[in-house]
Amino acid sequence: MRLYSSAMTRLALLCLFAVFAAQTVSLSPAVAASLLAAQEKPDKNAVALQRLLDDIGKQRAEVISIQRELTARPALAPESGGEGEEAKARWIEEWLRQKGFPLVERLDYLDAKVPSGQRPNLVLRLPGQSGRTLWLVCHLHVATPGPLDRWQGSPWTLRVEGDTVYGRGVMDNHQSIAAALLLFENLKRQQITPPMGLGLVLHAQTNGFRHVLAKRPDIFAPDDLLIVPDFGNPKGTSIALAEKGLLWLNICIKGEQKHSGSPQGGHNTLRIGARFIRDMDELAKSLSAAVPMFQAPYVTFEPTMVLPTAGSSNAVPAEFTFSVDCRFTPIYSPADIMKEFRTLADKLEREEGVSINLTETLSYYSPPPTRQDSPVVLAVLRSLAAEGVKDVSFVGINTVSSATPIREKGLAVAEWGKMDDTRRQIANESTTVSASIEEARVFARILFDQEAAKAAPANAGEEKTP
């Protein structure tokens, strides 16, 4: 009976396929023509992407113009003697308004140390065909220029030599801000709606970005793609998926002031501080576990600054305070680092007869890394492959970045850009016009990545800014 039924089933399927075949053969000429036209008709998204890529490649003059305006507006933190990022943020708002983006959301936070009384954070989103958004997160602030006599010209006046531009902030982070602005402007001018929405966050320092996430905890949907273009190499072959944790310490050594001509019986805190700095290398032996994916796979301790204290040239100082920057991998915590520093401080207190206070001024844990097979990483890899970039590697970086608070929220984020990290925060900082254009092309391809754009369309047309 089973054989009979199986045979009957096969016969029924054959008859069904025969009916379909007969129907296909008997298609009317009009239907056949429409099917043929549909096959020959180019994909609208593919055509739009090619238009976008072609236009981006013609925007070299616009990149230089944006770089010039951003560089001319120093965005130094008040701790560095600056007035903050307000002037730069206002220029960007006006530029966007002129390009057809009148609604830019501001999520500022109060700061009495700057003239404007606030530190600006800008948010902009252009809807796409799906509910998924590609977010680019860039910072507005720049590093201090350092000694001005080491610059060729003013750090705040853009210098252009062929494809290379020089000035404070041109690479860190103007290069990627220019790439993002180019992409927004081209999409608007050509009236292109990509498969994914495009979002941009421009923030004032990491604290500013944390403020944005606190005020708008839902700003990033779970299936959005997030890229922080604040790391990379000139070829674009490196993606950062993790950051080290950070601990800043002030170490204050208190002894007894004596005349430098008769130092006997005193406690020269400057000498003891030098010993503390020398002995910090021993701490690494207790925190020796390596994580190979990081550029520096071990915990690092670097003295960075001496804090001012009262004293004179003929007096043994009664107090000496210096700062230490500690960077640690995800297998350690700030408490682990503090424990080792306290052990060293206790030892020197016993041997030198002084008191040593440790004050934590800032700390961040190292959050879990982003998976290599996460949608944003795969989208970046596909886009790079389409641009001819191969042999991409994954690394962890030694600094806290804008990606850190994103990873802390459990969201996947890729840090990627076409930049030379050896040019970061040095005199005569430089980058190329081509780098901005090439970054914009990579971001454009991700916007049109059909695989990456797959998301629930419920909020596809919803604006995330007022």
The tens-digit pLDDT sequence of the chain (466 residues) is 333 344 343 333 233 223 223 333 333 455 445 434 444 556 899 999 999 999 999 999 999 999 999 999 999 999 888 999 999 999 999 999 999 998 899 999 999 999 999 999 999 999 999 989 999 999 999 999 999 999 999 999 999 999 999 999 999 999 999 999 999 999 999 999 999 999 999 999 888 999 999 999 999 999 999 999 999 999 999 999 999 999 999 999 998 877 777 666 668 899 999 999 999 988 888 888 888 989 889 899 999 999 887 677 877 788 899 999 999 988 899 999 999 999 999 999 999 999 999 999 988 888 899 999 999 999 999 999 999 999 999 999 988 889 999 999 999 999 999 998 888 889 999 999 999 999 999 999 999 998 888 754 433 333 343 3
Q: Is 6 exposed, middle or buried (0-12, 13-18, 19+ CB in 10 A)?
A: exposed
Contact assessment for residue 129 and residue 460, using Cβ atoms and an 8 Å cutoff: yes
- The number of CA neighbours under 13 Å toward the Cβ of 235 is 9
Q: According to DSSP H, which parts of 353-453 are helical?
A: 375-386, 403-408, 433-447
Contact assessment for residue 438 and residue 184, using Cβ atoms and an 8 Å cutoff: no
Question: CA-CA distance, 375 to 392, in Å (whole number)?
Answer: 16
Q: What pLDDT is attached to residue 307?
A: 86
Cβ neighbour number for residue 393 with a 10 Å cutoff: 9
Strand partners, 11: none
Q: What pLDDT is attached to residue 310?
A: 67
Q: Is 336 exposed, middle or buried (0-12, 13-18, 19+ CB in 10 A)?
A: middle
Going by the DSSP 8-state scheme, the letter that residue 335 receives in this structure is H
Which domains are seen in the chain, by residue range?
Answer: 47-243+367-459 (3.40.630.10), 245-364 (3.30.70.360)
Two structure tokens written together for 352: 């030198």
Cβ neighbour number for residue 322 with a 10 Å cutoff: 19
Strand partners, 166: 159, 430
Question: Angle between the 334-352 and 269-279 helix axes, to the nearest 10 degrees?
Answer: 140
Two structure tokens written together for 363: 């700390």
Q: What pLDDT is attached to residue 322?
A: 95
Q: What pLDDT is attached to residue 453?
A: 84
Closest to 209 measured CA to CA, from 71, 411, 371, 379: 411
Q: According to DSSP H, which parts of 216-317 are helical?
A: 269-279, 283-286
What Å distances lie between residue 201 and 120, 139, 229, CA to CA? 11, 8, 11
Contact assessment for residue 126 and residue 102, using Cβ atoms and an 8 Å cutoff: no
Contacts of 252 (CB under 8 A, 6+ apart): 319, 320, 321, 356, 357, 359
Two structure tokens written together for 15: 């008859």
Two structure tokens written together for 269: 């805190």
Question: CA-CA distance, 445 to 387, in Å (whole number)?
Answer: 9
Contact assessment for residue 168 and residue 71, using Cβ atoms and an 8 Å cutoff: yes
Q: Is the dihedral of CA 50, 53, 57, 63 positive or negative?
A: positive
Q: What pLDDT is attached to residue 33?
A: 52
Question: CA-CA distance, 398 to 326, in Å (whole number)?
Answer: 10
Please write the tens of the pLDDT for every residue from 165-191: 999 999 999 999 999 999 999 999 999
Question: CA-CA distance, 280 to 283, in Å (whole number)?
Answer: 5
Q: What pLDDT is attached to residue 421?
A: 83
Q: What pLDDT is attached to residue 121?
A: 97
Strand partners, 254: 319, 355
Contact assessment for residue 116 and residue 78, using Cβ atoms and an 8 Å cutoff: no
Question: CA-CA distance, 221 to 210, in Å (whole number)?
Answer: 16
Question: CA-CA distance, 337 to 330, in Å (whole number)?
Answer: 12
Q: What pLDDT is attached to residue 295?
A: 84
What Å distances lie between residue 35 and 17, 26, 40, 275, 370, CA to CA? 20, 14, 9, 82, 44
Going by the DSSP 8-state scheme, the letter that residue 85 receives in this structure is S
Report helix, strand or coil for 248: strand
Contacts of 394 (CB under 8 A, 6+ apart): 238, 239, 240, 241, 293, 372, 377
- The length of the chain in residues reads 466
Query: Which long-range CB contacts under 8 A does 421-424 form with residues at least 24 apart?
Result: 421/231, 421/232, 421/233, 423/171, 424/143, 424/171, 424/172
Strands (E) in 87-132, as ranges, are 105-106, 109-110, 118-119, 122-126
Please write the tens of the pLDDT for every residue from 239-284: 999 999 999 999 999 988 777 776 666 688 999 999 999 999 888 8
